[in-house]
Chain A
Amino acid sequence: MPEGHAGPPEPITRLIDEFNKLPGIGPKSAQRLAYYILRVPEHDARALADAILAVKARIILCSRCLNITESEPCGYCSDPRRDQSVICVVEQALDVLAVERASGFRGLYHVLHGVLNPMDGVGPEDIYVRELVTRLNDGTVTELIMATNPSLEGEATSMYIQRLVGPLGVKVTRLARGLPSGADLEYTDDVTLARAFEGRQEL
């Protein structure tokens, strides 16, 4: 860079670089966000910085279900009213929120924090599969509900876990597959439509 033609001052460049590391934020968006922060009142900027630090300082993974939590064990695992014999297995912590919001499920969870993805080299040891098997050893759990996404990777993960825990005699179920509300039959893929037919119910 020629003399006298410096970029933005160093703290701004640093902030741009940090924003640029976030998912979905490109260099232009990072610049815009950094210049926005420059203009916000100091207490707002401090609140953002504090919120980020608090997340890093206070959020841990529950040692049993690996959901994100502030207390150990987490609220779900320590609630005696929840059914201790059923575990719902999900890919991400966000999926726990979706299941809680919608399903009335009152058992326990297990968060895998990922899904098997052979072509990207993500194997069973890269997600929390072994921790799940350990939870089944004392015989309390009688059913695993696989709530992974109905994608090739999600289904492969479910089948892998089913095979792995087979010898333990735990029942393994998975969520029904079918049509989402608002869907259009015309555009539905063959596998989903075939499974929707197989799972049809009397009106």
Chain B
Amino acid sequence: MAERGRVYKTEAVILRRRNLGEADSIFTVFSAREGKFDAIARGVRKARSRMGGHLEPLTRTRVMLAQGRSLDVFTQAETVEPYRTLREDLDRAAAGLYCADLLDAFTAEHEELPELYRLLVEILQSLDAGLGLHVVRYFELQLLALAGYEVQADACAVCGARLPAEDTLYAPASGGLVCRDCRAGAGTGRILGVTAIKVFRFARTATVGEFAALRIDPALAHALEGALGETIRYVLEKDPRSKRFVAEVAALPPLRTSEAGRNVLPAEPGD
């Protein structure tokens, strides 16, 4: 953790909020320098609060904090990136919340993780910019790698032998793909096709933009989501709580284009 004065400034992404008393909230934020921590914002739920809109979950904000006895207290907040699309598109909001939830589950408080911060910002930017929702898989893969659970996709995770280009067992308990000889005792898993394996390998060196440009059909998306979901469940020993919401949103009827933005958002003046 970086050395902090009594009052300090940092840039952070707001992960979650819970209400406290009549008008206060406690926010869990993730910052490049301070890592993940909780801090309290006084009076933030009043309509005229100067910080209110700047501390919404999934916004990137410059904050100033004063050290408190137990929790630090926000004294100023100014939005850097509001990621507005996440506020106006339910699928993207669900994806963003899932990523924030996952990061929360994988991190301890006050751990300095600048690479993870960059990754989170990149993903929120990508979701905000309308890139394919499969960038969430990129986030999962990179997060697992940064947390020390890199998915082994090049060689057999058990014996290290080279893998032939064929359908291969993916076993979370073994840490990735497992060759035919090692299948017994590798733990349960699912068979992944060659394309899914290529996606895993590609993600390791690709930028988020390159990964977003991949064309991923629904069957492949399902396989990737399943495999990574099983890995995350294996590591955390539970599913992230927001995962159910992502599934519930995916099951909703799609918004008809004539409805999108029309009923809910006022038309642009001059439209």
Give me the interface of A with B, judged by CB distance under 8 Å.
23-24, 116, 118-121, 123-124, 146, 151-153, 155-156, 158-160, 162-164, 166-167, 171-174, 176, 180, 182-184, 187-192, 194, 198-200
CA distance A174 to B51 in the complex (A): 23
Does A163 contact B252, Cβ atoms closer than 8 Å? Answer: yes
10 inter-chain pairs at a CB distance below 8 angstroms, sorted by A residue, are: A116-B245, A119-B57, A124-B248, A155-B93, A156-B90, A162-B263, A166-B255, A174-B264, A188-B53, A191-B87
From B20, B47, B93, B244, contact of A123 by CB (8 A):
B244
Does B79 contact A189, Cβ atoms closer than 8 Å? Answer: yes
Contacts of B20 in A (CB 8 A): 24
CA distance A63 to B100 in the complex (A): 37
From A24, A146, A156, A174, contact of B21 by CB (8 A):
A24
Does B118 count as interface, using CB distance less than 8 angstroms? no
From B17, B22, B97, B253, contact of A166 by CB (8 A):
B253
Does B101 count as interface, using CB distance less than 8 angstroms? yes
Does A187 contact B90, Cβ atoms closer than 8 Å? Answer: no
From B22, B246, B255, contact of A24 by CB (8 A):
B22
- Residue of A with least CB distance to B57: A152
Q: Contacts A156-B93, A160-B252, A187-B50 known; A121 to B241 CB distance under 8 Å?
A: yes
Q: How far is the CB of B170 from chain A (nearest CB, A)?
A: 27
Give me the interface of B with A, judged by CB distance under 8 Å.
15-18, 20-22, 47-48, 50-54, 56-59, 79, 82, 84, 86-90, 93-94, 97-98, 100-101, 104, 241-242, 244-246, 248-249, 252-256, 259, 263-266, 268-269
From B97, B101, B255, contact of A162 by CB (8 A):
B255
Contacts of A156 in B (CB 8 A): 90, 93-94, 97
CA distance A146 to B263 in the complex (A): 11
Q: How far is the CB of B50 from chain A (nearest CB, A)?
A: 4
Q: Contacts A189-B53, A190-B79 known; A119 to B242 CB distance under 8 Å?
A: yes
Does A118 contact B47, Cβ atoms closer than 8 Å? Answer: no
From B50, B86, B104, B263, contact of A184 by CB (8 A):
B50
Does B263 contact A172, Cβ atoms closer than 8 Å? Answer: yes
Q: Contacts A118-B242, A159-B93 known; A173 to B256 CB distance under 8 Å?
A: no
Contacts of A192 in B (CB 8 A): 53
Does B266 contact A198, Cβ atoms closer than 8 Å? Answer: yes
Contacts of B252 in A (CB 8 A): 160, 163-164
Q: Contacts A119-B100, A184-B50 known; A160 to B259 CB distance under 8 Å?
A: no
Q: Contacts A119-B16, A119-B100, A189-B82 known; A152 to B50 CB distance under 8 Å?
A: no
Q: How far is the CB of A198 from chain B (nearest CB, A)?
A: 6
Does A159 contact B90, Cβ atoms closer than 8 Å? Answer: yes
From A118, A123, A155, contact of B87 by CB (8 A):
A155
Known contacts A121-B241, A191-B84, A199-B266; 8 further A-B pairs (Cβ under 8 A): A23-B21, A118-B94, A119-B57, A119-B100, A123-B245, A188-B53, A189-B53, A198-B265
CA distance A174 to B264 in the complex (A): 6
Q: How far is the CB of A25 from chain B (nearest CB, A)?
A: 10
Contacts of B54 in A (CB 8 A): 189
Does A200 contact B269, Cβ atoms closer than 8 Å? Answer: yes
- Residue of B with least CB distance to A182: B48
Does A191 contact B16, Cβ atoms closer than 8 Å? Answer: no
Does A163 contact B90, Cβ atoms closer than 8 Å? Answer: yes
CA distance A176 to B50 in the complex (A): 20
CA distance A199 to B268 in the complex (A): 7
CA distance A159 to B268 in the complex (A): 19
Does B90 contact A189, Cβ atoms closer than 8 Å? Answer: no
Q: Contacts A152-B93, A180-B48 known; A160 to B249 CB distance under 8 Å?
A: yes
Contacts of B94 in A (CB 8 A): 118, 156
Does B256 contact A166, Cβ atoms closer than 8 Å? Answer: yes
Does B79 contact A118, Cβ atoms closer than 8 Å? Answer: no
Does B263 contact A198, Cβ atoms closer than 8 Å? Answer: no
Q: Contacts A24-B21, A123-B244, A166-B256 known; A155 to B88 CB distance under 8 Å?
A: yes
Q: How far is the CB of A178 from chain B (nearest CB, A)?
A: 10
Q: How far is the CB of A91 from chain B (nearest CB, A)?
A: 12
Q: Contacts A118-B97, A120-B241, A124-B248 known; A162 to B266 CB distance under 8 Å?
A: no
